[in-house]
């Protein structure tokens, strides 16, 4: 009886071992270290997607700022070249503007082009001709792009193509604007008051209005033909530095369009930036104001405007 029990126990042990052998291949496929290791889960990341989106956004903002800064330098250099000549020895204002542009890493070719443009010629010496492109874009927004070029046919064709891509049409729009002379004087510590500037300005014919800027500078509005004489008189009297001085297309108040749609602002911004790509374009005027648009969306448009 005892022998029989021992035999049964041996048979049971053998049977149990056979069961372990049957599952052994499955167990052997799992690393022993893996069984001992703790597990954790993390969110799946798209490689570099979020980082690239932020980088691209920052780059776009930086590139736009660079373009606006360069445009401002070009305007000042062109202005001083036109007003006082291209000889730096006799034009300290131009020399100072060029030095500031160079310090800001504006390419030499752009600086030379601005000086030449102030003299009415291209860097190759070809005579430049003024031209304007008038256009309209929904909703009833009027645009005037002024350019100086040595090839009118090519430039007008290029600008019309940009306008078409953004849904604008070349059409008469000058009646939305009035030509006026405008000079912006930089703020000066201990400088004159508004009444003092006004008192000096009204001594000269052609003065239409004087404004004081929030940061302390002044804007004089004149008849186009009297721009230079009034500008030089006020600048000389008070030692004020010029920021801008030009004959512009000022939008008529009763034609102004309020910007209320971010989609409209984005489309208009694309159009204006497309124009600004061409160095022949010297100024862009549009009859829009901020309206209910956010400051961020408005800046997309306002950064390209010359008024």
pLDDT band at 44 (very low <50, low <70, confident <90, very high): low
Write down all domains in the chain, each with its CATH number in brackets: 60-118 (1.10.10.200), 128-180+255-307 (3.30.70.980), 187-240 (no CATH)
pTM for the full predicted model: 0.71
pLDDT band at 124 (very low <50, low <70, confident <90, very high): confident
Q: Are the beta carbons of 77 and 98 closer than 8 angstroms?
A: yes
Distance (Å) of CA 65 to CA 14, 24, 71, 82, 96: 83, 68, 10, 26, 22
Per-residue pLDDT of 201-228, as tens digits, reads 889 999 999 999 988 899 999 999 999 9
For residue 39, pLDDT over 70 is answered with no
Edge to edge, what strands does the sheet with 242-251 contain? 207-212, 218-222, 177-185, 242-251
Stretch (H or E) spanning 129: strand 129-137
Please report the pLDDT score of residue 35 as a whole number.
46
For residue 299, pLDDT over 60 is answered with yes
């Amino acid at each position: 009886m005892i022998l029989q029990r021992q035999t049964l126990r041996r048979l049971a042990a053998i049977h149990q071992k056979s069961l372990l052998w049957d599952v052994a291949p499955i167990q052997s496929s799992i690393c022993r270290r893996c069984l001992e290791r703790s597990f954790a889960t993390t969110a799946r990341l798209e490689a570099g997607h979020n980082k690239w989106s932020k980088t691209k956004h920052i780059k776009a903002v930086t590139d736009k700022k660079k373009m606006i800064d360069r445009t401002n330098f070009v305007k000042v250099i062109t202005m001083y070249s036109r007003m006082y000549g291209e000889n730096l020895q006799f034009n300290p204002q131009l020399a100072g503007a060029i030095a500031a542009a160079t310090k800001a890493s504006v390419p030499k070719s752009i600086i030379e082009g601005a000086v030449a443009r102030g003299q009415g010629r291209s860097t190759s010496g070809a005579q430049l001709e003024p031209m304007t492109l008038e256009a309209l874009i929904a909703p009833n927004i009027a645009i005037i792009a002024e350019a100086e070029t040595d090839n009118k046919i090519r430039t007008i064709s290029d600008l019309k193509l940009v306008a078409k891509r953004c849904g604008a049409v070349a059409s008469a729009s000058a009646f939305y604007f009035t030509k006026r002379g405008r000079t912006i004087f930089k703020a000066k510590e201990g400088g004159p008051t508004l009444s003092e500037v006004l008192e000096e300005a009204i001594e000269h014919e052609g003065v239409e209005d004087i404004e004081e800027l929030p940061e302390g500078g002044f804007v004089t509005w004149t008849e186009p033909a009297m721009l230079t004489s009034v500008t030089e008189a006020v600048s000389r009297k008070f030692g004020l530095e010029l920021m801008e001085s030009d004959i512009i297309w000022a939008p008529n108040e009763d034609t102004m369009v309020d910007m209320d749609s971010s989609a409209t602002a984005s489309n208009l911004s694309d159009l204006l930036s497309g124009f600004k790509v061409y160095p022949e374009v010297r100024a862009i005027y549009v009859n829009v104001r901020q309206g209910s648009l956010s400051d961020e969306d408005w800046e997309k448009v306002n950064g390209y405007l010359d008024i």
